[in-house]
Structure 1
Amino acid sequence: MTSAALGEGDGAQGKTHPLRTVLLDLGPLVVFFAVNALAPGDDVDQAVWATGAFMVAMTAAMIYTYWKDRKVTPMQLITLVLVGVFGGLTIYLHDEAFIQMKPTISYLLFAGILFGGLFTGRPLLKLVLAAGMPPLSDRGWRKMTLNWALFFTAMAVANELARAYLTFDQWVNFKVWGLTILGFVFALTQVPLLNRYARQKKTEER
């Protein structure tokens, strides 16, 4: 899942330009896709090269984000740590399975955070999005949190199915283009709910 799809982008110094947010999110994935396609060797060698390039691109994007916004979001930090751990295991053990598992762990982690917040009566979507959404009513936060928790769970299942049945090259295409597009499409389907509960919040405050 990308932070752009989730609506992140409010920096401490103002709002991040949406196009720059999208480019920073997609840039490392495009690097991963391109290096995997061009690197020499078998699937494992390509995965190692692509993973190394992806880790460098992610780090560069994070540094640039902090330089421009003077902050990074919790979601970005968690993603960077997971990329470092699973990417490092992929390179060290020469096993592409670890970088393929990274999206599943990310999605399940975010889903767990959101479900846990709902269970304790504290919808945590705003924490995950780092103030990237307008104020919503309490019902709106609960509804949006549940929707995103279910979506993250479905994405984890989709990634595991792809990992089990696709070749590594096919999985890379699915990850870079399929899951990314699904994230943006789902985010668009939430816009009407977002607008409705934002209006409801304004009405409650009057």
Structure 2
Amino acid sequence: MKFFFDLFPVILFFITFKFYDIFIATAVAIVAAIAQIGWLWFRQHQIEKLMWVNMVIIVIFGGATLLVQDETFIKWKPTVMYWLIASVLLVSSLLLRKNLIELMLEKQMILPVAVWNMLNLSWIVFFLFMGGINLYVAFSFSADTWVTFKLFGATGIMLVFIFLQVLILGTYLKQVSERILTTNEQNNLIEKIDNKTGKKQ
């Protein structure tokens, strides 16, 4: 349910564009993003920082689109968002020595530092890629194609990437569990041998 709620402005943008044009769709997306924040504040009094950032970016770039009647700004919006996230992950890792992916997921799983670093790097590369592919589609194809890609293409790529991450981590965690189980079995066997030896003595 949260997944569709997060996509609420994008879904409305897509539907409105299909019936009207990109400028009305942009206005609707701005209102939807603000309404989304308002609803969360009313229900939870707590809003994720990423959602605040998304709203600010869509207001700025969407507002510029409406002000000068140029769709270039709204087409840049996803790329700015993707590259901003990638930059934050990279700067936090290099300068602040903080792995933000680890901070978000450490309660769900325990991984070695090397694996956390690999996971963080993979997300940085992914968001850089997403920013680039958004620009390619936005300025190489029609607005209709870009709007469709924005909802279905970008979301699909994101889901595939997350699925692959889960598969890789799942395999790793399974291997770790098997190694721990084998070690425990060996320790139990050693204890049994020691106990028997002790009894014979």
TM exceeding 0.5: yes
1:64 Cα shift? 1.9
2:132 equivalent among 157, 161, 168? 157
Calculate percent identity across the aligned residue pairs. 27
Q: What's 2:16 paired with?
A: 35
- Equivalent-residue separation in structure 2 for 1:60 and 1:122 (angstroms): 33
Runs of 4+, deviation exceeding 4 Å = 197-200
Cα separation, partners in 2 of 1:132 and 1:28, compared to 1, 3 Å: farther
Shift of residue 188, structure 1, vs aligned partner: 1.2
Letter of the structure 2 residue corresponding to residue 59 of structure 1: I
Cα distance, 1:54–1:125 mapped onto 2, change above 3 Å: same
Gaps of at least 5 residues in structure 1 are 1-18, 40-45
**1:109-144: CA deviation from partner (whole Å, max 9, x where unpaired):** 1111112223233212256x5x69624433332121
Shift of 1:91: 0.7
User: Displacement of 1:67 after TM fit?
Assistant: 3.0
Superposition RMSD in Å: 2.4
Task: Please give the TM-score of this superposition, normalised by the length of structure 2.
Answer: 0.78
Please state how far the C-alpha of 1:198 moved relative to its aligned partner. Answer: 10
What are structure 2's unaligned runs of at least 5 residues? 181-201
CA distance in 2, matches of 1:60, 1:140: 38
Separation in 1, partners of 2:102, 2:35: 26
Q: Comparing both chains, which one has the higher relative contact order based on Cα–Cα distances under 8 Å and sequence gaps of 6 or more?
A: 1
Bigger helix share = 2
Q: Deviations over 1:78-117 (max 9, x none)?
A: 1111011101101111111100000111111111111222
Question: 1:194 Cα shift?
Answer: 4.0
Aligned to 1:173: 148
TM-score normalised per structure 1: 0.76
* In 1, Cα distance between equivalents of 2:61 and 2:102: 27
The one of 108, 114, 117 aligned to 1:134: 108
Q: Which has the larger radius of gyration?
A: 2
Q: 2:30 aligns with which of 55, 64, 67?
A: 55
- 2:63 is matched with 88
Residues 162 and 171 in structure 1, CA contact (< 8 A), matched pair in contact too: yes
